[in-house]
Structure 1
Amino acid sequence: MFKRFTIIPSVRDLRNFEIALKSVSNVIFLSEVHLGNLKSLIKKCHDNNKIALVNIDLVGGLATDQMGIKLLKNLFKVDGIISSNSTNVNMSKMLGLYAIQRFFLIDSRGLESGLKALKNSKCDAIEVLPGLISTNFRDKIAKVKNVPLLGGGFITEKSNVIEVYKAGFVGVTTSEKKLWNDYSYLKQNR
């Protein structure tokens, strides 16, 4: 999924969904969706050769349990989930879905408990939030779990993307549509 650095559209406002479908990234994060619109959104992602990942913690009308995850896979055809809950991540992996663990950097106690939770997570990647602070903890997180790292949250400018890129992350997630297609400035910052 992360063969090269990618700027992943995080669609929080469905008015930006069509723009995300035209983005360079092969992955789209869907947030703020509900069971009524999810099937058509996933179909459009697949019709545009996009991997559709759903923030399971934010899907309206869905119970975040094993049956809910099975429903996402079998009925809605999602490719994977994003969650801050390790149990959801591990259940998703057992069902053959991609799973991205969200890791929030709030304070030192949160960092310690988050690192402990990561040890048992079966995640394919970790989205570390907020993105700009994440660069300070990259090595500490990578020592606990050797999977691709994404910086997310408050990624609003090219300079933010460059900072995360230079820190060795495999990508960023952002709802800032102006960042979704222009990668040219990264070549200057290798």
Structure 2
Amino acid sequence: MLYTESLLKKSPIIAAVKSLSDIQKVPKNINAILILDADILYVEKMIDLAIQKDLLIFLHIDLFKGISRDEYGIRYLARKTGIDGIVSTKGYLIKMAKEENLIAIQRLFIIDSSAFDKTLRIIEDAEPDMIEILPGLVYPRLASKLRRKIKQPIIAGGMIKEKRDVDDILSAGAVAISSSNKSLWRYKKIIK
């Protein structure tokens, strides 16, 4: 896990991709991708290309079509596909992924105070390796409160449009952002 975190700190953008074309466009400064909205017939080609590009591969299992969201589906993904980890909103999938030595990223939507409190309970129960907060733009406002409550590295995703948003999120302590916005894929972290 420390290796993954250090890779993301060096290159803090996770390219969220939906196609082979997207993966082909991932620049060399990117170390990780998040495969969104794929299906079992197409994902193998996506994974093969990502492996050729030496990318960490995360699969958003909640959006993945053609495989059961149960222990057998997780086991298959872990043992047969070459992915490094999953992203899910579901705690039971996070637990199963960890049992299969996949990096488990819990995706959480924080839209109000009650969602924030629920988030803390979900994290405590599932014990993910990393947490993805959506929408990402809320992270700088919640960062200090979250850091007091959780130990896992945080990724921010969703609604991030500009480089200054990325700067604000990373300055607030997130290790990375996930984005399908190709203009952000060439982001260079400013070292101060």
TM-score (norm 2): 0.91
Deviation at 1:182, TM superposition (A): 2.8
Q: Which runs of 5+ in 1 are unaligned?
A: none
1:12 aligns to 2:18 (yes or no): yes
1:166 to 168, 171, 184: 171
Alignment of 1:78-157 (within 5 A): 78-157=83-162
- C-alpha distance in structure 2 between counterparts of 1:104 and 1:14, whole Å: 28
* 2:139/2:172 contact within 8 Å kept: no
* Cα distance between partner residues in 2 of 1:149 and 1:85: 17
- Per-residue CA distance 1:40-82 (angstroms, 9 max, x = gap): 2111111111111000000011211111111111222211100
Within 5 Å, give how 1:23-34 maps onto structure 2.
23-34=28-39
Superimposed CA distance per residue, residues 79-117 of structure 1 (whole angstroms, 9 cap, x where no aligned partner): 110011111111100111011111111221111111111
| Contact preservation (8 Å) 2:13, 2:187 | no
Q: Which runs of 4+ in 1 moved over 2 A?
A: 12-15, 139-145
Q: Quick one: which amino acid aligns to residue 17 of structure 1?
A: I
TM-score, with length taken from structure 1: 0.92
Aligned residue pairs total 186
2:146 counterpart SS class: helix
Task: Work out the CA distance in 1 between the residues paired with 2:62 and 2:28.
Answer: 24
Query: What is the alpha-carbon distance in structure 1 between the residues aligned to residue 112 and residue 56 of structure 2?
Result: 32
Task: Name the counterpart of 1:2.
Answer: 5
Assess, with a 3 A threshold, how the Cα gap between structure 1 residues 70 and 43 changes in structure 2: closer, same or farther.
Answer: same
Q: Percent identity, aligned pairs only?
A: 28
Q: Are the aligned partners of 2:20 and 2:46 in contact in 1 as well (CA < 8 Å)?
A: no
Question: RMSD across aligned C-alpha pairs, in angstroms?
Answer: 1.5
Residue type at the aligned position of 2:184: L
Cα deviation for residue 142 of structure 1 reads 2.5
SS of equivalent to 1:35: coil
Q: Contact between 2:17 and 2:33, CA under 8 Å: does it hold in 1?
A: yes
Name the CA distance, whole Å, in 1 between partners of 2:5 and 2:179: 16
The 8 Å contact of residues 118 and 144 in structure 1, kept in 2 or not, is answered as: no
Cα offset, 1:144, TM superposition: 2.9
SS of equivalent residue, structure 1 residue 43: helix
Distance change (3 Å), C-alpha of 1:120 and 1:144: farther
- Report deviation, 1:14: 4.6
Asked if 2 retains the 8 angstrom alpha-carbon contact of 1:105 and 1:134, the reply is: no
